[in-house]
Each structure stands twice: as structure tokens, then as C-alpha cells.
Amino acid sequence: MPGWLRCAVAVVCVWVPSAPAGADISAVVQSTYADFSVSAPTPTTVFVCHGYGCRFRNEVDFSGADRATLTRFLVAGHGSAAAERRAVAAAGAWFDRRIAVDAGTKGHVARAGMSHMNEADQFDCIDSSRNTTSLLLVLEELHLLRFHDVDPPEARGHLFDGRPPHATAVLIEKASGVRWSVDSWTRGYGQPPEVMPLALWETLD
């Protein structure tokens, strides 16, 4: 594990290099997974990170029934961008429960800190931002996102500014260009991720 990642684990989260806003999928994949040697998701397979800094990975196979479930969630959000964000959050709660079956992460806690860093069933924000981005990319590949594109994870707080580091998955609204945080690290097992404007998310501690 490189030194910067060990430091990230010690403080829970770390700076995440990002691709330009509205980046294409290949740029999102490179920015999201390259530093962790994790394969990009497909509509049939997702590699789940857990145990802090993507220390553990589990391959989760998505069945036709899983893809049909995601479709039902997102169809409910086809009326507007706001409705689609609500649908993404609902899909995120289902996704958390679904991956727990294979990754052994059932019962993980919200905002897992240093007291949990040796526990394979917990997520730091590196894990959660990658996993949520994987979900978003699957939705994109299934052509279920009408109003948003997927952006790479974004970070706030870099120690030198006196703020604790934290990372989140990101959507960008096509019509307005507004970027939205989709933050699952702040929520416990089976709960929907927090969705808010990235500009607001960046002001929080």
C-alpha cells in the first residue's frame, strides 16, 4: 500500500484526483479505479471495495433480476432531474443491501472512523465513493440515467486546510451543469446515500 494511502486510511479519507467536469466514461473509470487496481463495473459484475482504502475487494455478479430491480427504481425517476436523484438514492439503498450479501458488509455503520479501520465489514469514504460510483456507472451503462452524467469522485478537506479529508461520488446534471454529491459514507447499512449540491457538500466538515 503506498504511503499516501496509508495516511488516507489513518485519517479515514484522502484527496481524490478528479477528471474534468463532464468527463467521458473512460476518464471517470481512470480517475476512480486506477490507483486501487480495481476493475471497472459492468452491468453484470461489480467489484466492491471495503475494509478501508479498498483493502478488500469482492466480485458481485448482477443477475437479470438485479438489473430489472435497478430499472424499476430509475423508471420511477424519469419525470425530472430531481425525481431521478431521488430514484438514484433509493437504488443506492438497495445496492448497499445487495452487495452486503457477497461482501459481508451487512450492518456497516455510518461515518465509520478509525475505531473501525481494522474491520473488513466497514467502509471508509474511499470504499464508499468507489462503490457508489460503480453503481452510477452501471446505471449509465444500462441507459437508465436521463438527466445526469457520472463524474469522478470528488474530495474536500486536505489536512493542510484544517479540515478532515472526505470523498464522495458525483453526478452532473446535464441541463444545468450542476454537480451533485451522492455520499453513502454518511449513511448506515441499507440507508439511501445523501444527495446534495456538490458546492454545499464542499462547505461541510
DSSP line for 132-152: HHHHHHHHHHTT--SSEEEEE
SS3 (DSSP) at 114: helix
Instruction: Name the residue among 185, 96, 75 with its Cα closest to residue 139.
Output: 75
The Cα–Cα gap between 170 and 53 comes to 18
- Identity of the residue numbered 118: N
Each residue's pLDDT tens digit, 13-50: 444 444 444 558 999 999 999 999 999 999 999 999 99
Return the DSSP state at 34: G
- Helix or strand (DSSP H, E) at 197: strand 194-197
Rounded to two decimals, the pTM is 0.88
Domain ranges of the chain: 16-201
Element housing 71 (H / E): helix 64-75
Q: What is the pLDDT of residues 99-127, one digit of tens each?
A: 999 999 999 999 998 889 889 999 999 99
Band (pLDDT 50/70/90 cuts) for residue 162 is low
88 — alpha (psi -120 to 50), left (phi > 0) or beta?
A: alpha
